[in-house]
Amino acid sequence: MVSIHKFAARMGAGTALFSLLMASVAGSLSVPVNAAEPLKIGLHYPASGRYKEHGFAQAEGALLAVEEINSRGGVLGRKLELLSDDTASEPERAANNAATQAQAGALMMLGGSSSEVARALGREASRQNIIYFATQASANELTGVKGHRNIFRESISARMGAKAIGNYLQTLPGEHKFFYITASDSWGFSAEASMREVTGTEDTAAHPNVPVQYPKPSQKDLENALAAAMNSDANVLVLSQYGKDLATILQLAQKRNVQERFTIVVPVVDLETAREAGAGAMDGVIGAMAWNYDVPAALNLDDARLFVNRYTDRFQHSPSAGAASAYNVVHQYADAVRRAGTTDTGKVISALENYSYTGIKGDEQWRAFDHQNLQTVYVVKGRPRADVMKDKNKENYFVMLAETPGADAAISEADWKQERRNNGKPERLE
């Protein structure tokens, strides 16, 4: 686990997040002698590497939630204490960090910005018999064939994003021929498979693909993949990439005027990627997302508006879906502990399963049979750069095109059980 000083060095001592963390830690260090033992939760996020912007967003969301809960007296008379570790998006490192946090007394863990890291954290959580919440990991297997009782996913799955996009694409006129550029990891393959299924493009001869190295594809890899797409007869380009890799390929596509020929589709898009890619590269790009900071105004959600305002005041930029996910997880765990009246893992899991609530994302539910969070999935399109620049914070990158209810986007229980049977897994989480 990192000390406050090491964390500060990574974040930068002048950042708002550093200031908040210093205040939080200072508060935990000055707990009265007779105070109840703090309830420890562990955050695992990439503070370095290609997904660090996503990691910082998760850290900000989690810290804000901890501060709010502690200001109201904590949970069952205990203040929350947030332990944090840099995964660097490396599964083995994440698993080792998780074991260390469990030994330090963490009763719940959250985070992860890749499906490989989430899978490693989930396995360690199962070994330690604590709960792990995946906050930004979309591979279908996490709550599918690799799902187990100790893992919950707050973010949408690849299947959910693909279903929402597929529903929207069906409303567009003309014949569509697809070309896929796919990261060679579990999420990339999940995203491509799900997109093919919902769009009826399973024929790889008619709708070809180019897999690219994961992690850390070279610029040459991405350029070659784009060249292959340009040499095809496709008119829809699906980029199953993430984070900095997605930002890079979108910038390359912009330089080559790919948007003039293709409808560019991104299975899961987010604010961090838009910031890295830039408004020009996002122009016209269609993607799925679980949340954006303008959702609260659209849904008239007071608590969500409060979250956006507090977050923006604290960190001087808008919250992303990843920040909202981490914030939501901390509050949901605390609420489940209150309902259970205990921190016992089994009883808290039971308190979460099939629990429905209205949160910062609207109506949500922790589904019992697979531990997938059901929430609305939004299809968005990148605004023209000129429109983005008119926004006060220059972050209004997306216009909402459509939405799909979570229950309609997620896999059905019957299909989930069949998928588990096909892979030799029990039909219930263990």
Higher pLDDT pick, 78 / 214: 78
Where residue 12 falls among pLDDT bands split at 50, 70, 90? very low
- Given this model, what pLDDT does residue 24 score? 47
Structural tokens at position 341: 């009246």
Q: Domain 159-293+377-409 adopts which CATH fold?
A: Rossmann fold (3.40.50)
Where residue 291 falls among pLDDT bands split at 50, 70, 90? very high
d(CA 183, CA 248): 13
d(CA 334, CA 320): 22
Structural tokens at position 61: 């969301």
Mean pLDDT computed over every residue of the chain:
92
Parallel/antiparallel/unpaired status of strands 362-366 and 355-359: antiparallel
Where residue 15 falls among pLDDT bands split at 50, 70, 90? very low
- Given this model, what pLDDT does residue 119 score? 97
What value does the mean pLDDT take over residues 72-87?
98
DSSP 372: B
pLDDT tens sequence across 250-286: 999 999 999 999 999 999 999 999 999 999 999 999 9
- Given this model, what pLDDT does residue 392 score? 85
Instruction: Provide the greatest CA pair distance for the chain.
Output: 71
CATH 3.40.50.2300: does it fit domain 4-156+298-374?
Answer: yes
Among 83, 89, 90, 94, which Cα is nearest to 4's? 83
d(CA 231, CA 229): 5
pLDDT tens sequence across 218-254: 999 999 999 999 999 999 999 999 999 999 999 999 9
Element (DSSP H or E) covering residue 192: helix 186-199
- Specify the domain boundaries for CATH 3.40.50.2300 within the chain: 4-156+298-374, 159-293+377-409
What value does the mean pLDDT take over residues 352-372?
97
pLDDT tens sequence across 367-404: 999 999 999 999 999 999 999 999 888 999 999 999 99
d(CA 16, CA 308): 15
- Given this model, what pLDDT does residue 34 score? 54
Beta bridge pairs of residue 365: 356, 374
d(CA 191, CA 152): 19
Neighbour-count burial for 181-190, b at 16+ CB within 10 Å, e otherwise? bbbebbbbbb
286: helix, strand or coil: strand
Beta bridge pairs of residue 209: 180
